Amino acid sequence: MGSIRALVVDDSQAMRRNIMGALQRMGGFVFDEAVDGVDALKKFSEGSFDIVLTDINMPQMDGLKLVRHIRTALGKTDIPIVVITTESAEEDRNRAMKLGANAYLVKPVQAREVQDAVRSLLHLES
């Protein structure tokens, strides 16, 4: 398998860097970044991704709308989506999962948690 294409969506550049840093340590990833859901959908029109990691609270289009859009409008049901957010309430988690997220991590998130979620969703060896 070649490079794993990951789309990291968060309005915080520091958070995008943290997530990409965690995945970089695993090796084999190439990244695309987006600042919100609208930007992320633009990236989808330019190429395809093996996994999406997204925040919920972002300007223009939040992460939940993005998840729904990827699943319904784009019809991409096979791409794993990891939501990484400060929203820790159970109903937020349930809503994200119902919309099609595959994993839900609460900030502050450890690199290990991100790596474990991605490994599990992409069926990678640790």
CATH code for the domain of 30:
3.40.50.2300
For the chain, what is the domain count?
1
What's the one-letter identity of residue 12? S
Give the pLDDT confidence of 18-45 residue by residue, as tens digits. 999 999 999 999 999 999 999 999 999 9
**For the whole model, what pTM was predicted?**
0.96
Residue 66 corresponds to which tokens in the numbers above? 């993005």
> Which residues constitute the domain of residue 79?
4-122
Residues contacting 38, CB < 8 A, separation 6+: 60, 61
Work out whether the CA dihedral 96, 108, 11, 20 comes out positive or negative.
Answer: negative
The conformational region for residue 123 under phi > 0 = left, psi -120 to 50 = alpha, else beta, is left
The CA distance from 46 to 25, in Å, is 26
Give the pLDDT confidence of 43-58 residue by residue, as tens digits. 999 999 999 999 999 9
Q: Are 80 and 101 in contact (CB under 8 A)?
A: no
Q: For position 126, what pLDDT does the model report?
A: 64
| Neighbouring-strand partners of residue 94 | none
